[in-house]
């Protein structure tokens, strides 16, 4: 009888032990933020069609435009984090997001919908670099990777709880649906208040050496972003590729599709911190990225073979692919934690973290369309083609990181890591 609670306490202690001092407040605001995200995102499609009365095509286009706004927002707000201080910027962004979601009840036409959804998308993507810079400033260097992994575990737990709350509201009818955006806005207000409880962080007025967006001229670093973008396609495969493959090309019951996301979320909550171990250094982050790419290739090969099996074999392959892509997600995320902070110069940290965040924006905007095109439009070649993309990312990540490391300032701790048999830890974003 006591085994269950004891195991839960042990898991919580081991997973979140790195969240101490300011990091504990970061965990609280991340959890609150994830609750609101899960609440709104799980029911947003139903809300826009049922409550706002918008056509589904308009809703899809608006969400795509919101994603595209992330390309500009990640860079602009990353630079602002350096110039104004990450704490101040994040508090303002969260407050503005609360106001933006308060506008959703007024959305009943495309003319109002498009500006509001693009505004909220830009603000949400802008929070990523500011949050990453805040972690770098408040968490000791050797603990950032573990802390970032613990925060991601917390986010998935909160998102799941929010999604369950959204399901409950949807079941109550259209009147309750109207609470979705307001509930999300309330969580942003709470998160903004939690940010203000954190210690003040310094601005870096000299960031970029007077040259705006110098990261766009840092070709080696852009190569790391490109390689990471290919490896991050696992997310689009889990969200779009495997579900569409099950629906279009197998006889499996469609009810297994929601179980895919549920299983993925639970596994991330349980194992993200463990998967992040060893990614504190740039060399360790590259190793994790390569593991993610090779596991993704193996999963693609299994799914390609699924068309030659019977129903039970197909079910086993689908389950194995979900587990493999989840493992790839755990390692690739851990790699991203290490590469972001490890390659960001001190005086342009927010700008570089914002640029590195583009690999998330790319997979979120381009990934689903690319994966859908390959898997649905070219069944026999789709999975092998995706395997080639993962192989390309796996092959490119090491050389691209090595070039970017040589481009770091001389005082950067990882500058000489390629000459050391055991490099000093260089944590992640």
Tens digits of residue pLDDT in 58-115:
988 888 888 889 899 999 999 999 888 899 999 999 999 999 999 999 999 999 999 9
The domain ranges of the chain are 19-200, 213-429
Task: Tell the CATH superfamily of the 19-200 domain.
Answer: MFS general substrate transporter like domains (1.20.1250.20)
> Can you list the residues of the chain whose pLDDT is less than 50?
1-3, 207-209, 411, 413, 415-429
pLDDT of residue 209: 47
Cβ atoms of 177 and 43 within 8 Å: the answer is yes
Per CATH, 19-200 and 213-429 having the same topology is answered yes
Sign of CA dihedral 142, 126, 49, 33: positive
369-373 contact pairs (CB < 8 A, 24+)? 370/233, 370/236, 371/233, 371/236, 371/237, 371/240, 371/241, 372/240, 372/241, 372/244
* Helix/strand/coil for 218: coil
pLDDT of residue 141: 83
Enter the DSSP assignment of 206: T
pLDDT of residue 312: 72
Cβ atoms of 79 and 350 within 8 Å: the answer is yes
- Class of the CATH domain delimited by 213-429: mainly alpha
pLDDT of residue 206: 52
pLDDT of residue 151: 93
Sign of CA dihedral 321, 327, 333, 339: negative
């Amino acid at each position: 009888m006591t085994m269950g609670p004891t195991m839960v306490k042990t898991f919580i202690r081991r997973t979140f032990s790195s969240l101490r001092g300011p990091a504990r407040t970061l965990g609280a605001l991340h959890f609150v933020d994830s609750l609101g995200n899960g609440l709104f995102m799980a029911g947003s499609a139903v809300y826009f069609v049922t409550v706002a009365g918008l056509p589904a095509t308009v809703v899809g286009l608006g969400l795509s435009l919101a994603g595209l706004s992330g390309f500009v927002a990640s860079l602009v707000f990353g630079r602002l984090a350096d110039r104004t201080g990450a704490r101040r910027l994040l508090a303002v962004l969260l407050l503005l997001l609360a106001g933006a979601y308060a506008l959703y009840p007024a959305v009943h036409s495309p003319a109002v919908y498009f500006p509001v959804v693009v505004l909220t998308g830009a603000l949400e993507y802008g929070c990523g670099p500011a949050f990453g810079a805040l972690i770098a400033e408040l968490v000791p260097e050797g603990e950032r990777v573990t802390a970032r992994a613990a925060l991601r575990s917390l986010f998935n737990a909160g998102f799941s709880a929010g999604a369950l709350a959204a399901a409950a509201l949807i079941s109550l009818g259209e009147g309750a649906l109207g609470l979705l955006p307001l509930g999300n806005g309330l969580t942003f207000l709470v998160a903004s208040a939690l940010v203000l409880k954190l210690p003040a962080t310094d601005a870096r007025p000299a960031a970029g050496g007077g040259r705006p967006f110098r990261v766009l001229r840092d070709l080696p670093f852009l190569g790391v972003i490109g390689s990471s973008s290919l490896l991050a396609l696992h997310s689009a495969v889990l969200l779009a590729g495997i579900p569409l493959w099950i629906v279009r090309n197998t006889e499996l019951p469609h009810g297994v599709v929601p179980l895919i996301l549920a299983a993925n979320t639970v596994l991330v909550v349980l194992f993200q911190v463990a998967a992040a171990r060893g990614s504190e250094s740039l060399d360790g982050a590259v190793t994790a990225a390569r593991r993610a790419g090779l596991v993704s290739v193996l999963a693609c090969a299994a799914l390609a073979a699924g068309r030659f099996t019977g129903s039970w074999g197909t079910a086993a392959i689908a389950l194995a692919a979900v587990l493999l892509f989840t493992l790839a997600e755990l390692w690739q995320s851990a790699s991203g934690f290490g590469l972001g902070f490890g390659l960001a110069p001190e005086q342009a940290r927010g700008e570089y973290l914002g640029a590195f965040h583009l690999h998330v924006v790319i997979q979120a905007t381009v990934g689903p369309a690319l994966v859908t095109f390959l898997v649905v439009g070219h069944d026999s070649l789709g999975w092998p083609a995706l395997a080639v993309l993962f192989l390309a990312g796996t092959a490119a990540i090491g050389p691209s990181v090595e070039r970017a490391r040589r481009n770091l300032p001389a005082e950067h701790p990882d500058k000489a890591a390629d000459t050391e048999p055991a490099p000093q830890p260089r944590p992640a974003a």
